[in-house]
Structure 1
Amino acid sequence: MILYLLIIFTIMTLGSWLLIDNIKVRLVTGWISILLLLISTVSLSANMNYHFGMQKEITYSSKKIIYTAGPLNSPQNLLITKEIGSNSNNYILIYRNSQKSIKPSAHFVPNRKQTAQLIRSRATYRLADVQQATIQTEQIKWVYQNQLMKTLFKVNDETELIKQKAIVTVPKTDWIVMPFNQINKNNNLKI
C-alpha cells in the first residue's frame, strides 16, 4: 500500500507544481504533497531498516515427547548428535518422533537454499533431572503492531524470523547422548 501512496504523492507533487496556475494554491498543494511524499518515504525506509510499525513476538511450542534413536528393546535410550560447525553448540539431532517409528530420523538438518533461516535457527540439547525426553521450540519473529501497519507495509505473506531455537531435554539417568561419528557404520543412519 505504501508503494501506491508513494506513486500517488509523486504524481500529486509534480501536478501541483507544474499544472496549477494560481500561485497560492500551487504553493499550498505543492508543499503539502512534498510533505506527504517525504513522510511516506521516511516511513518506508524506517520499516525496511528499523522495523517501524512492527514488534517482536515470541512463541513457544508445546513440549513433545521424543523417543530413542537406538534399538527399541534396549534399556538405555540414545540421542545421536552431529554438531554443525565447530564449537557452535548447534546440532543435528537424531531421534524417533513416536514409539511406532521403525527408524529414527534426523531433525534440524540445515536447508542450504535458505541461508537466512540457516543462520537464525539453532538446535541444542541438555541433560536434566526429568522423567521423559522432550523437545520445545522457541521462535522470535517480527509481526505488525496493528492492522494499519500491516496494510501499509505488508508486501508478502511471510513474517521475518529473528531467531528460532529448539531445545531437546533428555533425562540424565537413562539416556546417552552420543556423537554421530561414534555410531557403528552398520546402522545405516544417514544425515
Structure 2
Amino acid sequence: MIIIVLTILAILTYVSWINIEHVPTRVIAGVISMALLVASIWLLTANMSNHYGMKKVTTTTEKTIYSAGGSKSPAGMLITQELGTKSDNYVMIYADREDGKAKAHFVPDKKNMPESVNKTATYKTANVDKATVKTVTTRWEWRNHFFKSMLGFGGEGHSLYKQKATVTIPDNTWVALSAKQAKQVTAKQKAAAQDKTAVAAQQKQMREAVQAKVAAYMKNNPKVSANDVADYTREATAEMTADAMKQMLK
C-alpha cells in the first residue's frame, strides 16, 4: 500500500505545483501533498531502518527430547558439535521421540544465512529428571492493521529477530559428548566387547552395585511402592552406565 500511496502523492505534488494556476490554491495543495509525501517517505524509511510500526513478540516452547544412543542404553546421550571456537553455539544430535531416530538439530540453513545468524543453541546439565529443549523465539509483528496494510508489502511481518534454544540434560543419567568423543566411546565399547569374560564380569559388577543401591533405598524407605522401586532401579542403572561412559573419556 505504501508504494501506491507514494506514487499518488508524488503525482499530486507535481500536479499541485505545476498545473494549478491559482496561486493560493497551488501553494495550499502543494504544501499539503508534499508534506504527506515526506511523511510517507519517513514512515517507509523508519520501518526499514528501525522496524517502526512493529513490535517484538516472544514465545517460549519446551519439549522432552530423547537419547542419541537409542532407547536400549540405560543412560542418555547428547552429541554436540560447536560452531566456531568458544561460540557456545552448537549443532546437537538427539531424538525427538523415544522410539525415534536421532538426528541433527540447529544446523544453520545455508540458503537463509541472515536468519540463521539470529539463531543460537546451547546446552547445560542440571539436576532434572528428563532431558528437554526450551526454545525462546522473538519475532517482529505488526502493531496494528494500519501499519500492516501500509507497510506489509515485503513480508516483514513475523520476521525473526532472534531465537535461542537451550537443551537441558540430567547431570547424573545423561552424558554430553562431542562428535569426536562419541566415536572414542564407541570404539572403546567395541574393543571391550571382544573380551566376553571381561564384559560378563563388568555386567555382573554393575548388577551387584545396582542391587546394593536398591537395597539401601528400600531400607531407607520401607513403605516404598513396587513402582517406585522399579523407577529407582532404572535411575540407578542409568546413573552407573553414564558414569562408566564418562570414565571412558578420561
Q: How do residues 117-128 of structure 1 correspond to structure 2 at under 5 angstroms?
A: 117-128=115-126
Measure, in 2, the Cα distance between the counterparts of 1:71 and 1:52. 48
**Contact 2:70-2:99 at 8 Å conserved across structures:** no
- Paired AA for residue 139 in structure 2: K
Tell me how far 1:186 sits from its aligned partner. Answer: 11
- Provide the rounded CA distance (Å) in 2 between the counterparts of 1:36 and 1:157: 24
Unaligned stretches of 5+ in structure 2? 187-250
1:98 aligns with 2:94: no
Residues 13-65 of structure 1 deviation map (CA, whole Å, 9 limit, x = unaligned): 0001111111111111011111111110111111110111111111111x211
Establish whether residue 17 from structure 1 lines up as the match of residue 17 from structure 2.
Answer: yes
Do the aligned partners of 2:121 and 2:164 also contact (CA within 8 Å) in 1?
A: yes
Aligned to 1:69, the other structure's residue is in SS state coil
The 3-state SS of whatever aligns with 1:114 is: helix
Of 134, 137, 153, which residue of structure 2 is paired with 1:136?
A: 134
Structure number with higher strand proportion:
1
For residues 19-98 of structure 1, the aligned pairs below 5 Å read: 19-61=19-61, 63-98=62-97
Give the RMSD, CA atoms, in angstroms.
Answer: 1.5
Between the two proteins, the alignment pairs up a number of residues equal to 185
Question: How far apart in 2 are the matches of 1:125 and 1:184?
Answer: 20
5+ residue gaps, structure 1, are none
Structure 1 position 184, deviation (Å): 2.1
TM-score scaled by structure 1? 0.92
Letter in 1 for 2:153: V
Specify the code of the residue in structure 2 equivalent to 1:67: Y
- Tell me, in whole angstroms, the C-alpha distance in 2 between the residues paired with 1:71 and 1:100: 8
Give the drift of 1:155.
1.4
- TM-score normalized by the length of structure 2: 0.71
Amino acid aligned to 1:92: V
Cα distance in structure 2, aligned partners of 1:161 and 1:33: 36
Counterpart secondary structure, 1:149: helix
Higher relative contact order (CA 8 A, sep 6+): 1
CA distance in 1, matches of 2:25, 2:70: 83
Amino acid at match of 1:26: R
AA matched with 1:9: L
Q: Could you tell me whether the CA contact under 8 Å between 2:70 and 2:102 is conserved in 1?
A: no
Amino acid at match of 1:140: T
- Per-residue displacement from partner, 1:101-148 (whole Å, max 9, x unpaired)? 1x3111111111111112100111111111110111111111111111
Q: Work out the CA distance in 2 between the residues paired with 1:24 and 1:75.
A: 87
Distance in 2 between the 1:51 and 1:111 partners? Answer: 24
Percent sequence identity over matched residues?
38
